[in-house]
């Protein structure tokens, strides 16, 4: 689903055509331990190894294949760099892959340095793996900012760039930016992705998890130990009480769901029984109206009768019609009474169904919130929107791909001197400590230093009361001048992109359109769908003209009411991404 072009040699084209228009997609070569060369970027299913060499399976003869491979290899080794490639080769020393001389823990974050063309993975105690990378070339630059791993694919192939092989892919945007194995020419050469050494990408693939923080910095950056009174301090007693509370709320939610289901069944039965009543009343009203007309006519016939025999006959007819009218009147009154009874029963069943459904939603949300309390919390404070956003992973699979993230709350936040840049800072709780949690800080954009940035922010006390007591390792606080990027949706954690850095690799990709819901409060009242709002234009965002620009947080929520006559029926339309993956 990601797209990342791979150049042959130093920027040369990767398409060669024969007279028969047969393409050989040789995207470059890499050295084998045997001393031979293997083409890179061709799906493994289309390669076979012959004597340690990779051969493209085509209709050409062996001699033509060997000749083509030799020509491509010679070109890759001898061609002079293009102007763009030369501009990217700004670092005098090549980065060398390295492993920390200690037992490594689970990776908590990865930091990519665009300047040094390097990626470093960190656990709770510091760096554990480091390797060179190749980021986006000029015009297709890898966006600098804050991301997280949202999907992993061991054997990924691009649908944008000739089925190019991108092994051990770890996606960070749904439009196609990812970390994956790829060729490293020694400078920025990709179409926006971050290429890592093949063996390095394979080694890290099984060690990372969905939600791991990925920071892409324009310059070199690293996490440093940090403490501040504003950082969340958990309460162990509260954390210890969460499982029992979550279990009790889950039982309450199950009971409420059963009651709601029974009420729904009763509502359906009452609706079915009440449905024929109006038609029965209407039919009897029409019959009685005709009978009344007949009775009126008999009066005229009786008045016009001249003889005793005619009068007697007319009177007899009148009596019969009058009896018919009386019978229909009795039936009509009974039908109306029955219809009213059934309508009253239907209204009561409807009210009960709505009440029990509201209770089901309330208890389900309480149970879900209690369960999510045991997940790391991510907080994003945006100077652009003057809001605080909170998300937690649900570990529930999304219909299309990836996992869904829960929007816990979204509230206004007070930032001192709101027109003054604050920078972009990431505070991460990396481990438990005696005083609560051990935090680190990474700064990737100019503005205030980390301490001054936290000093300027006032988080509402009720928000602190809700979040801080149950904060766990891997939780984070992001403070930035930027708004949530347009890539943020219900299948991502926060995506924050630095708008003062080139974003060619992101701008060229069209973001997915997904159904979203928003709430300006944090009472869980998420109803109704809106199209995902574009937080930023192709290279910038509305903040450039209005630093106080505001917007709602992206989130996916199902419609909860099952009894609203305005409710849309049928499955939700999960809009597929427009454009190639």
Select from 550, 278, 282, 542 the least CA-distant residue to 410.
550
Tens-digit pLDDT profile for residues 518-531:
333 333 332 222 33
User: Where in the chain are the domains?
Assistant: 98-226, 250-371, 375-544
pLDDT for residue 326: 93
pTM of the model as a whole: 0.67
Give the pLDDT score at 453. 96
Q: What is the distance between the terminal CA atoms of the chain, rounded to a whole angstrom?
A: 4
- DSSP E strand boundaries for 454-508: 457-458, 476-480, 496-497
* Cα–Cα nearest to 495, from 77, 177, 102: 177
Q: What is the pLDDT of residue 87?
A: 45
Partners of 390 in beta bridges: 379, 409
- Residues 351-386 pLDDT 10s: 999 999 999 999 998 998 888 988 999 999 999 999
Task: Tell me the C-alpha distance between 150 and 171, whole Å.
Answer: 6
Low-confidence ranges of the chain (pLDDT < 70): 1-94, 159-163, 508-581
Residue 580: what pLDDT? 30
Report yes or no: 108 and 124 within 8 Å, Cβ to Cβ. yes
Label residues 376-397 b or e (16+ Cβ within 10 Å = b).
Answer: bbbbbbbbbbbbbbbbbbbeee
pLDDT of residue 434: 85
Whole-number Å distance between alpha carbons of 150 and 401: 9
**What pLDDT score does 574 carry?**
31
How confident is the model at residue 96, as a pLDDT?
82
User: Looking at the DSSP assignment, which residues form a beta bridge with residue 313?
Assistant: none
Beta bridge partners of 214: 110, 147
C-alpha count within 13 angstroms, C-beta hemisphere, residue 410:
21
Cβ count near 496 (within 10 Å)? 30
Q: State the pLDDT at residue 499.
A: 93
3-state helix, strand, coil in the chain (%, to 5): 35, 25, 45
Query: What per-residue confidence (pLDDT) applies to 106?
Result: 95
Domain 98-226, second-level architecture: Beta Barrel (2.40)
Asked if 532 and 554 count as a contact pair (C-beta separation under 8 A), the reply is yes
């Amino acid at each position: 689903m990601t797209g990342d072009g791979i150049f042959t040699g130093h920027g040369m084209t990767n398409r060669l055509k024969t007279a028969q228009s047969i393409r050989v997609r040789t995207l470059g070569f890499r050295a084998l331990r045997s001393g031979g060369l293997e083409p890179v970027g061709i799906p493994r299913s289309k390669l076979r190894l012959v004597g340690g060499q990779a051969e493209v399976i085509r209709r050409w003869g062996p001699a033509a294949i060997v000749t083509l491979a030799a020509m491509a290899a010679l070109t890759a080794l001898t061609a002079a760099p293009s102007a763009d490639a030369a501009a990217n080769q700004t670092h005098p020393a090549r980065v060398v892959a390295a492993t920390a001389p200690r037992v490594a823990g689970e990776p908590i974050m990865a930091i990519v340095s665009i300047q040094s063309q390097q990626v470093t993975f960190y656990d709770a105690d510091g760096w554990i793996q480091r390797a060179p990378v190749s980021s986006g070339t000029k015009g297709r630059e890898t966006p600098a900012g804050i991301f997280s791993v949202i999907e992993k694919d061991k054997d990924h192939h691009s649908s944008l760039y000739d089925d190019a092989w991108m092994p051990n892919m770890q996606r960070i945007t749904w439009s196609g930016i990812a970390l994956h194995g790829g060729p490293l020419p020694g400078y920025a050469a990709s179409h926006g992705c971050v290429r890592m050494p093949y063996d390095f990408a394979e080694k890290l693939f099984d060690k990372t998890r969905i939600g791991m923080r990925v920071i892409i910095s324009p310059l070199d950056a690293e996490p440093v130990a940090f403490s501040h009174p504003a950082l969340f301090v958990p309460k162990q007693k509260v954390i210890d009480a969460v499982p029992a509370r979550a279990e009790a709320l889950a039982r309450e939610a199950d009971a409420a769901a059963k009651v709601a289901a029974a009420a729904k069944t009763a509502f359906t039965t009452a609706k079915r029984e009440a449905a024929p009543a109006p038609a029965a009343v209407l039919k009897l009203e029409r019959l009685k109206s005709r009978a009344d007309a007949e009775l009126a006519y008999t009066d005229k016939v009786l008045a016009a009768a001249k003889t005793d025999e005619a009068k007697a006959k007319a009177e007899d007819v009148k009596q019969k019609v009058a009896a018919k009218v009386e019978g229909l009147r009795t039936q009509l009154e009974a039908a109306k009474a029955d219809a009213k009874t059934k309508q009253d029963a239907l209204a009561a069943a409807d009210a009960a169904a709505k009440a029990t459904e509201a209770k089901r939603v309330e208890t389900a949300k309480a149970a879900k919130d209690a369960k999510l309390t045991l997940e790391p919390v991510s907080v994003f404070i945006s100077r652009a929107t003057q809001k605080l956003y909170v998300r937690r992973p649900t570990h529930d699979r999304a219909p299309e791909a990836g996992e869904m993230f829960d929007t816990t709350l979204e509230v206004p936040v007070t930032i001192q001197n709101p027109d003054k840049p604050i920078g972009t800072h990431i505070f991460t709780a990396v481990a438990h400590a005696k005083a609560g949690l051990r935090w680190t800080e990474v700064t990737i954009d100019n503005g205030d230093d980390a301490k001054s940035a936290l000093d300027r922010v006032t988080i509402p006390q009720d928000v602190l009361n809700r979040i801080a007591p149950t904060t766990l390792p891997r939780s984070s606080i992001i403070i930035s001048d930027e708004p949530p990027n347009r890539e943020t949706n219900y299948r991502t954690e926060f995506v924050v992109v630095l708008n003062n850095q080139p974003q060619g690799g992101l701008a060229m990709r069209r973001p997915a359109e997904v159904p979203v819901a928003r709430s300006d409060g944090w009472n869980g009242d998420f109803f109704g769908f809106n199209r995902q709002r574009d937080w930023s234009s192709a290279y910038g965002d509305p903040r450039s003209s209005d630093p106080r620009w505001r917007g709602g947080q992206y989130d996916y929520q199902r419609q909860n009411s099952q009894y609203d006559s305005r409710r849309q029926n049928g499955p939700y339309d999960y809009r597929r991404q427009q454009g190639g993956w």
